[in-house]
Amino acid sequence: MNDLAQHHLALGARLAPDGIPLDYGDLAAEYAAADQGAILLDRSHEGRILLQGRDRLELVNRMSTNDVSRLEINEGKPTVFVNANARILFRVVCYNLPRGLLLISEPGQGDALASFLQRSIFFGDQVAVKDISAETAHFALHGVAADTVIESLAPAARSIPALGVVEVESDVGNLIIARRKSICGAHWIVIADHVAGAHVHHLLLQCGGAAGLIAAGSLTFNCLRIRSGRPAGLELSTDYIPLEVGLWDEISFSKGCYTGQEIIARMESRGRLAKTLVKVALSSMVPAPAPIYALGKAAGTLTSSVQAPDGRIHAVGVLRIGSAQPGTELTVGKDGRAAKVADYAGAQPPFVLQEETITPGT
């Protein structure tokens, strides 16, 4: 067991098999702190792949949905790798550091992403793929006071724009500090050398104590991300195309060719989706995945659900577009639990958000 895991245990954590804290013994306090102060999460199970060499931007640009070809130093951008049928393989956030392009994957996908990138290098490409996941620790800050916490750690972070990144020297070594999309208040990440991981986690808790920062686990993160409608897990799979799961803002419609572009461009040009991601209001808890019905007909799949510590149930699902309008009555699961569409989730195409004239269930 490494020093960071022992540090979490000393704080009262219950660890998952991968060493990531599930919680620290008080889920209600963790959940409340995200809305009232801030929470600190160990996200070291998210892959961290460093691409170095002249063609690092070109490699990612020709294989993924967003335009990273002109990404400036200290800028970041999310993008999605898809297959030839435009089905999701990996969602990543790219940060262009002076030493290389850092790609951060979804949890547990670092090895697969590194192998995928290595296989995609053409003869003549000047790109080296390095998986730095094992040699680094990765923490995330969420909450209304997260900005205050990060500025206490590194005053230079005050000037970081949305999805920006900086590398700073600190008393605990070199740190990568970056902004990410919000799921609850501000969202920051801090990446450090794995040897310093426990010290950095402790230092962050010290910096944020006055702002209400507490350590939290992945169970709290899951509640927050489902509540916010952020796709993950089942939503980010080969079952779906990025436009169908609220990733409109992670696609460029003006860049050159990339794998799967023709299908995505056709959907955008025609202004039509077969299905889309929505928040689902459940009358009672239904574990995901589960079938969703509208007017007695199969309408989609409940892909994520959770009962938060405050008793409220949050869920998202992928529904046929004709049944996805907010307010549409649904039933979920084999026993037909009552539900309805609460709202669209994620970043939706403009044509989905326009007033629909399709009758729900058709």
pLDDT of residue 160: 93
Give the separation between CA 87 and CA 249, rounded to whole angstroms.
17
Which run of H or E residues covers position 248? none
In percent, how much of the chain has pLDDT > 90? 91
Give the separation between CA 111 and CA 129, rounded to whole angstroms.
11
Tell me the average pLDDT across 221-230. Answer: 98
pLDDT of residue 170: 82
Total-model pTM: 0.94
Give the separation between CA 63 and CA 122, rounded to whole angstroms.
12
- Residue 126, both tokens: 């000047």
Residue 221: C-alpha distances to residues 39, 96, 211, 242, 304 (Å): 9, 26, 19, 22, 13
Q: Does domain 47-131 have CATH number 3.30.70.1400?
A: yes
Give the separation between CA 332 and CA 293, rounded to whole angstroms.
6
pLDDT of residue 105: 98
Over residues 325-357, the pLDDT tens digits come to 999 999 999 899 999 999 999 999 998 987 554
Fold of 229-353: Gyrase A; domain 2 (3.30.1360)
Residue 340, strand partner residues: 281, 329
**Domain 47-131 in the same topology as domain 3-44+134-226:** no
pLDDT of residue 354: 78
Q: What is the Cα 295 distance to its own chain's centre?
A: 33
Residue 314, strand partner residues: 306
Within a 10 A sphere around the Cβ of 15, how many other Cβ atoms?
16
Average pLDDT, the chain: 94
Over residues 22-46, the pLDDT tens digits come to 999 999 999 999 999 999 999 999 9
Those residues with Cβ within 8 angstroms of residue 354's Cβ, 6 or more apart along the chain or in another chain: none
Model confidence at 84, pLDDT cuts 50, 70, 90, reads very high
Which of 212, 218, 47 shows the shortest CA–CA distance to 143?
Answer: 212
Domain chopping of the chain, boundaries: 3-44+134-226, 47-131, 229-353
Residue 40, strand partner residues: 141, 215
Q: In the chain, what is the greatest distance between 2 CA atoms, to the nearest angstrom?
A: 61
pLDDT of residue 156: 82
Residue 288 has pLDDT above 70, yes or no: yes
Those residues with Cβ within 8 angstroms of residue 269's Cβ, 6 or more apart along the chain or in another chain: none
Tell me the average pLDDT across 75-93. Answer: 97
Fold of 3-44+134-226: Gyrase A; domain 2 (3.30.1360)
